[in-house]
């Protein structure tokens, strides 16, 4: 299994995604409104670039306050909240919002909108202690799209990235980004706006490969690592061995640490593409760090893909043994190991054991996509309520 960079893990744990920010939004319009609502309390804001601090003139924005309705402004579907989309004026100001009640400044959320379409995501960044993370550089990976970079505002909000259809968006927290990074990402959004929604995986890969190869020498190391990973994912989606080989070679040029070798190898294995090369990369990873729980699991999963089920179970069990010896604390990875072992046991004809391991994994992490997908793939229903109590990990 892959070991995600620590900064990505910490960020993922510290994200607060408002439902207002992450779901489908309809009939997107950005009128240059001057005034909306009615009442004796007036609110107007200036949209600023979090990187430069300068007002953003004639820029699309999204504005709302939690549990606040604004007369004649559409409600968010299923919620008693009005969400205003508009375009700032020449001074970067939003529309003047009038309300009958007072609303504290910290309850308002104003974000820049980048991209095009009626769907989108934004994120509210907080640290592991629940504190807001202002001025944090971030990278958003848009499914079937490119990459966008930005910096969170004073309240920890990212930009709202709009798309023409419903797409997943993954957030990364890199080291400090550069002016060249931000420029490259802005151009990415412009290009993505012109990409047809029915563009083939091969065409999307070609666009991003050209963007990466042409400009990579001017990008920061942090952004290059994220972009190279994105390029590998896009290449795998094409199912073209040559494209995957090109992307992997580019990614490995950035470094061949234990984690990179394991992560790239696992990506190939999990996609069932160039499995032999993936296994070779994992073996090299284990040469560097023989007791790496993640790489041991990856090797077991590679052997599973090669239908070497007895050997696969041996390595997967070894991975769990190391996890227990090291007293690791990564329930997400542990549940994935259980999913891998359950599917291996199932293919060995050890159905009862597979069922027990799968439900034990469900107990460890009831929301594990690997557990849920494995249960569906092998037609093995999970026990209702089996995720309500913890159980001790066991090697079978």
- The tens digit of pLDDT for each residue in 61-77 reads 999 998 999 999 988 87
- At residue 6, the pLDDT reads 32
In angstroms, the CA 305 to CA 112 distance is 45
Instruction: Tell if the pTM clears 0.85, that is, is over it.
Output: no
Q: At residue 26, does pLDDT exceed 50? A: no
Q: Where are the beta strands (DSSP E) in 116-177?
A: 119-121, 124-125, 137-142, 147-151, 160-163, 169-172
Q: Dihedral of CA 192/194/197/203: which sign?
A: negative
- Identify the pLDDT of residue 37: 96
Q: What is the mean pLDDT of residues 282-287?
A: 96
Token pair recorded at residue 146: 């490119």
Residue 197: the pLDDT is 85
Residues 6+ apart with CB under 8 A from 311: 303
Percent of the chain with pLDDT over 70: 90
Query: 169 and 21 in contact (C-beta within 8 Å)?
Result: no
Which one is predicted more confidently, 91 or 385? 91
Q: How many Cα atoms occupy the beta-carbon half-sphere of 197 within 13 Å?
A: 9
Answer whether residue 32 shows pLDDT above 70.
Answer: yes
Give the model's confidence band at 130: pLDDT under 50 very low, under 70 low, under 90 confident, else very high. confident
pLDDT in tens, 317-329: 999 999 999 888 8
Q: How far apart are CA 308 and CA 132, in angstroms?
A: 48
- Alpha-helical segments (H) within the chain: 6-13, 19-22, 179-194, 201-215, 221-238, 241-252, 258-270, 275-288, 293-305, 309-325, 331-347, 351-364, 369-377
pLDDT at 394: 59
Q: Which pLDDT tens digit goes with each residue over 181-226? A: 999 999 999 999 899 989 999 999 999 999 999 999 999 999 999 9
- What is the predicted pLDDT for the residue at 5? 43
Pairwise CA distance, residues 176 & 174, whole Å: 6
Residue 292: name the closest of 326, 248, 332 by CA. 326
Q: Give the pLDDT of residue 112.
A: 96
Q: Cα angle at 349 between 343 and 355, to 5 degrees?
A: 50
HSE-CB at 99 with a 13 A cutoff on CA atoms is 17
Domain boundaries of the chain, sorted by first residue: 329-396
Mean pLDDT of the chain, nearest integer: 89
How would DSSP label each residue in 203-247? HHHHHHHHHHHHHGGGS-HHHHHHHHHHHHHHHHHHT-HHHHHHH
Q: What confidence score (pLDDT) does residue 23 get? A: 39
Alpha-carbon distance of 292 to 23, in angstroms, equals 38
C-beta separation of 205 from 237 below 8 A? yes
Strand partners, 109: 64
**Size of the chain in residues:** 396
359 vs 348: CA distance, rounded Å: 18
What pLDDT is attached to residue 49?
93
């Amino acid at each position: 299994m892959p070991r995600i960079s620590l900064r990505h893990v910490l960020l993922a744990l510290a994200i607060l995604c408002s439902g207002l920010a992450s779901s489908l939004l309809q009939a997107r319009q950005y009128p240059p409104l001057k005034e909306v609502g009615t009442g004796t309390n007036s609110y107007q804001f200036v949209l600023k670039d979090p990187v430069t601090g300068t007002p953003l003139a004639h820029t699309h924005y999204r504005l709302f306050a939690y549990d606040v309705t604004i007369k004649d402004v559409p409600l968010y579907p299923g919620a008693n909240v009005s969400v205003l989309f508009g375009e700032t004026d020449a001074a970067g100001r939003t529309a003047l919002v009038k309300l009958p009640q007072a609303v504290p400044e910290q309850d308002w959320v104003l974000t820049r909108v980048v991209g095009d379409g009626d769907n989108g995501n934004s994120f509210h960044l907080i640290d592991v202690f629940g504190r807001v993370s202002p001025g944090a550089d971030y990278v958003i990976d848009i499914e079937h799209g490119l990459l966008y970079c930005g910096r969170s505002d004073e309240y920890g909000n990212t930009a709202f990235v709009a798309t023409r259809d419903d797409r997943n968006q993954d957030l990364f927290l890199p080291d400090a980004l550069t002016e060249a990074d931000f420029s490259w990402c802005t151009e990415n959004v412009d290009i993505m706006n012109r990409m047809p929604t029915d563009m083939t995986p091969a065409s999307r890969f070609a666009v991003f490969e050209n963007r990466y190869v042409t400009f990579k020498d001017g990008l920061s190391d942090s952004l290059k690592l994220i972009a190279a990973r994105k390029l590998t994912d896009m290449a795998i989606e094409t199912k073209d061995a040559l494209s995957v080989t090109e992307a992997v070679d580019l990614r490995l040029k950035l470094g061949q640490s234990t984690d990179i070798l394991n992560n790239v190898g696992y990506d190939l294995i999990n996609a069932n593409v160039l499995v032999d090369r993936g296994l070779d990369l994992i073996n090299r990873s284990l040469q560097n760090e023989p007791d790496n729980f993640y790489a041991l699991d990856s090797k077991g999963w590679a052997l599973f893909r090669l239908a070497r089920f007895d050997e696969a179970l041996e390595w997967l069990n070894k991975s769990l043994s190391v996890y227990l010896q090291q007293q690791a604390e990564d329930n997400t990875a542990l549940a994935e190991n259980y999913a891998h072992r359950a599917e291996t046991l199932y293919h060995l004809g050890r159905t009862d054991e597979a069922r027990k391991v799968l439900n034990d994994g469900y107990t460890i992490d009831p929301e594990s996509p690997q557990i849920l997908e494995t249960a569906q793939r092998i037609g093995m229903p999970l026990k209702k309520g089996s995720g309500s109590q913890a159980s001790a990990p066991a090697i079978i």
